[in-house]
Amino acid sequence: MILMKKGEKDLTEGPFLGKLIVFAVPMIVTALLQTAYNAVDVAVVGFFRGQEALAAVGSTGSLFNVIVNLFMGLSVGAGVLVAQYIGAKEHQRVSEVVHSSVLLAVLLGVFVSVLGVLLAPELLRLMDTPDIVHGQATLYLRIIFCGIPALLLYNYCAAVLRSSGDTKHPLLFLSFSGILNVVLNVIFVAVLGRGVDGVALATVLSQYVSAGMILVFLSRHGGVVHFSPRKLRFHRSVLGRMLYIGIPSGIQSSLLSLSNVLIQSSINRFGDAMMAGNSAAYNLENFVYTPMTAVGQATQTFVGQNVGAKKPRNLPRILGASITFSLCIAVLGSAVILMFREPLVGLYAPENAEVLRFAVQRLFLLLPFSFLLPLTEAFGNALLGMGQSIYSMFNYLQGYCLFRIFWTLFIVPVIGTSASIYYSYPISWWLVATVGIVLFFIFYRRLRRETMEE
């Protein structure tokens, strides 16, 4: 019999607010570090290599996320199953999920890496990337795609660990590799004089370090998520469920990123100054959005364990705790960024008034509405934790993808201003939050009935 190890937590007993905060804080710090390291990439290349290099790096982000998030979403399937099986005390099933997900991450990573390297120039042309930055953007994107196997492996393993209740070790591994990323950035760009290829290479090397560290940790783990290379194979008993939950989740993540690609394409038409300003503002906003996403992922684990333990009565209290915590983050984070907007943007594009103007424009149009995101994150992740990823996917399809496509194609050309591109964000957040609330309560009532019948 496999026993739970210290660090693995039972998340089925309240009070939930304090427990959620303790559980989510390492995830928030981890997410902020990831955001900071990405921001360092952008800041270093912008500071040392100028506006064109900054635009080249910034223009690849949304495209990269569309492709990667499709496959990264499968880690959600692994995480949800681990949480549900731990809640149900089915520890052998947990082991099967661990080994199936590691093998899946490696195979998918190699496939996506090769595909991305080959198609990078054509994909950037589809986004109307200006010729002035196309060459640098292609080089950056190709190098970044070489790190996909490590990126997927780390995230799949981290999802398994977090769902078992261990949020501290993923933080430690990422902290080490992130510091390495910063050091390598400075060496490659500031010392050796490299450009976008330097920051890309620093990122890729640090990703392989973090993937190696977390895999070694799992192989030495004495609990339910122990990894053994000898057991590495697909287990049909769990692979089907993992794909059933993970594929819609991956599509959901890609839909969100696809909508950002469409918006990025519109932004590209306004020139490299707006591209650079948008990139700087987006990186700053991520210091608000990313912690809320981390709280949502923590909510998913809590919901998953309680569904597995057949305790759906706890779900409203879990969501109440999640929304309360995320709202505090949204209000405080947005206020700080808006208050110090000029010096913060200046970290990315020093002494560039035009880039500053575009960046501040985006910040003031989006951050005041960030209070909607705790609702989208809480109810969306609750649906994932309940195993209802298909319905969550369709919610994202209508709110983030179809609506933003409509807005970009038909509304923006009519209004014709750079600001009009950003109006779609708060409207789509409201749409996704509203539908998510309705869907949650439909499935919550169904779970309560099924539990009472048993």
Give pLDDT, residue 3.
Answer: 45
Q: What is the pLDDT of residue 53?
A: 62
| Placement of tokens 């390492």 in the chain | 26
Residue 130: pLDDT over 70: no
Angle between helices 353-366 and 315-339 (to 10 degrees): 150
Say whether pLDDT at 4 is over 50.
no
Mean predicted lDDT score pLDDT of the chain = 85
Q: Is the full-model pTM beyond 0.95? A: no
Are the C-beta atoms of residues 130 and 267 closer than 8 Å to each other? Answer: no
Q: What is the mean pLDDT of residues 177-191?
A: 83
* Confidence (pLDDT) at 211: 94
Lowest-pLDDT choice from 35-39, 259-263, 334-338, 378-382: 35-39
Q: How confident is the model at residue 323 (pLDDT cuts 50, 70, 90)?
A: very high
**pLDDT tens string 378-387:** 999 999 999 8
Q: For residue range 12-22, what is the model confidence (pLDDT) as tens digits?
A: 777 899 999 99
Higher pLDDT, 178 or 195: 178
Say if residue 453's pLDDT is above 90: no
Q: Model confidence over 325-383: pLDDT tens digits? A: 999 999 999 999 999 999 998 887 777 788 889 999 999 999 999 999 999 999 999 99
2 has a pLDDT exceeding 60? no
Least confident of 55-64, 73-82, 311-320, 379-388: 55-64
Q: pLDDT digit string (tens) for 139-164?
A: 888 888 899 999 899 988 998 998 88
Q: CA-to-CA distance for 2 and 99, rounded, in angstroms? A: 15
pLDDT given for residue 329 in this prediction: 95
- CA proximity to 82, closest of 96, 71, 70, 69: 96
